[in-house]
Amino acid sequence: MITSLLDIKKFPAEQLASEYHQRWEVENTIDELKVHLLSRKTHVRSQKPREVVQEVYGWLLGHWAVRVLMFQAATSAGIAPLRLSFTGTLRVIRRARTQFQRLHPEEFPLFSTG
């Protein structure tokens, strides 16, 4: 790693390496949101600041839901969640969407009252 932060007391190498890794985790998440989940042509449709915030929270919630689904799938298959592809998971979800739309809410275990 190359940096212009030369003060080793203020910026220890281990800390820089750790923060660099975290930065790329954030970059990857932003890429997943902008490019894969929303598509490149998605714009904020809301006109009022409060609604813009609500829309962004909705995008983040959608991303989180996909990641939770990936974690559950990996756990049930006995593999590391990092081995699953975000874009591959989106493809599976998008293909299954029409099947889910035909189900009644009581057919989902989460919504089952019995």
Which range (12-16, 39-43, 50-54, 78-82) has the least confidence? Answer: 39-43
CA distance 35 to 24: 16
pLDDT digits (tens, 9 = 90+) for 78-103: 999 889 998 899 899 889 888 878 87
Residue 5 lies in a domain: no
DSSP string, 58-114: HHHHHHHHHHHHHHHHHHHHTS-GGGS-HHHHHHHHHHHHHHHHHS-GGGSGGG---
The total of structural domains in the chain comes to: 1
Q: Does residue 110 lie within any of the structural domains?
A: no
In a domain, 77, yes or no: yes
Q: Examine residue 114 and state whether it is found in any structural domain, yes or no.
A: no
Asked if residue 8 is part of any domain, the answer here is no
**Residue 44 maps to a domain:** yes
Domain around 72: 19-104
Report pTM. 0.64
Given a contact cutoff of 8 angstroms between Cβ atoms, the answer to whether 17 and 1 are in contact is yes
